[in-house]
């Protein structure tokens, strides 16, 4: 039990929020969302707030139309249906979310954590027509939270990677590693050397669209291109570049280094 009357620490697992926040305090009363919720949003947070709504997948309870933004000049990161928050998080990428009987407030330590606060808010509001008043505090335990996909060995259909971005963002991860090459092949389009690519590749145009989608979701896409010891995708086509070791089942590039005796 917390010191203030009516405030109780909640069972975090019972909130059904993904990922689980650092803390949640039950406040007195409950909040009933209206058909439209008008937010005063600090100018520093307005663009990411709007971008977040635009990237919501279809059928997401219509929140992109239900949340209305009124821009307020302020270099701090906050949004509120009423007064400006008086407390701001100190932790990197942290946020505080207050859901009260008379409205909602959020404050954030970074542009990324504005997105995180909004994701938590919509998850929580989607749990019922009326939700308990609560104060949620959260920040990531790790600065880098990523998924790595091995495209060199198995290239999925392009839409899979766009769908994956949405899932990564929903889990508040911030990076996607795409392993484009390995001994098994190269799955990124190479216009200058098409002979080096696998049968199924991601086109450069598709990759540009993927990068733009990732940027709007606050996810970094990090390409991985293997050299030297994992370069059979090159040496199979250009055998003169191989290390001249006839006993090797996995020939690799010499990169102009002295040849083995």
Neighbouring C-alpha atoms within 13 Å toward the C-beta of 155:
18
CB atoms near residue 123 (< 10 Å): 14
- Given a contact cutoff of 8 angstroms between Cβ atoms, the answer to whether 87 and 153 are in contact is no
Contact 243, 251 (CB under 8 A): yes
CA dihedral 137, 143, 146, 152 (to 10 degrees): 170
Q: Judging by DSSP bridges, how do beta strands 23-31 and 8-9 pair with one another?
A: antiparallel
Domains of the chain: 8-138 (3.30.379.10), 146-226 (3.30.750.90)
Strands (E), the chain: 8-9, 23-31, 37-42, 67-72, 78-80, 95-100, 103-108, 131-138, 146-150, 175-179, 181-182, 185-186, 220-224
Query: pLDDT tens digits for the chain (261 residues)?
Result: 344 455 788 788 778 898 999 999 999 999 999 999 999 999 999 999 999 999 887 655 688 899 999 999 999 999 999 999 999 999 999 999 999 999 999 999 999 999 999 999 999 999 888 999 999 999 999 999 999 999 999 999 999 999 999 999 999 999 999 999 998 999 999 999 999 999 999 999 999 999 999 999 999 999 999 877 788 888 888 888 777 665 555 555 554 444 444
In angstroms, the CA 163 to CA 84 distance is 35
């Amino acid at each position: 039990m917390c010191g203030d009357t009516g405030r109780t620490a909640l069972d975090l697992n019972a909130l059904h929020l993904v990922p689980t926040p650092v803390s949640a305090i039950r406040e007195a009363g409950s909040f009933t969302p209206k058909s439209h919720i008008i937010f005063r949003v600090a100018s520093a947070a307005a663009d990411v707030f709007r971008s977040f709504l635009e990237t919501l997948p279809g059928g997401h309870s219509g929140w992109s139309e239900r949340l209305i933004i009124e821009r307020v000049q302020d270099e701090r990161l906050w949004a509120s249906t009423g007064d400006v928050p008086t407390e701001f998080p100190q932790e990197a990428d942290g946020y505080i979310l207050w859901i009260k009987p008379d409205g909602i407030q959020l404050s954030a330590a970074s542009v990324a954590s504005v997105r995180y606060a909004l994701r938590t808010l919509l998850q929580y509001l989607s749990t019922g027509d009326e939700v308990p008043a609560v104060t949620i505090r959260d920040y990531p335990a790790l600065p880098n939270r990523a998924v790595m996909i091995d495209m060199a060995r198995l290239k999925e259909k392009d839409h899979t990677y766009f769908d994956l971005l949405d899932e990564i963002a929903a889990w508040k991860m911030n990076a996607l590693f795409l392993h484009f090459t390995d001994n098994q092949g190269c799955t990124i389009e190479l216009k200058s050397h098409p002979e080096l690519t696998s049968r199924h590749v991601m086109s450069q145009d598709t990759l540009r669209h993927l990068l733009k989608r990732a940027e709007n979701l606050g996810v970094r896409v990090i390409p991985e291109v293997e050299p030297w010891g994992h370069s059979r995708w090159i040496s199979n086509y250009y055998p003169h570049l191989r290390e001249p070791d006839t006993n090797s089942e996995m020939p690799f590039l010499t990169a102009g280094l002295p040849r083995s005796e």
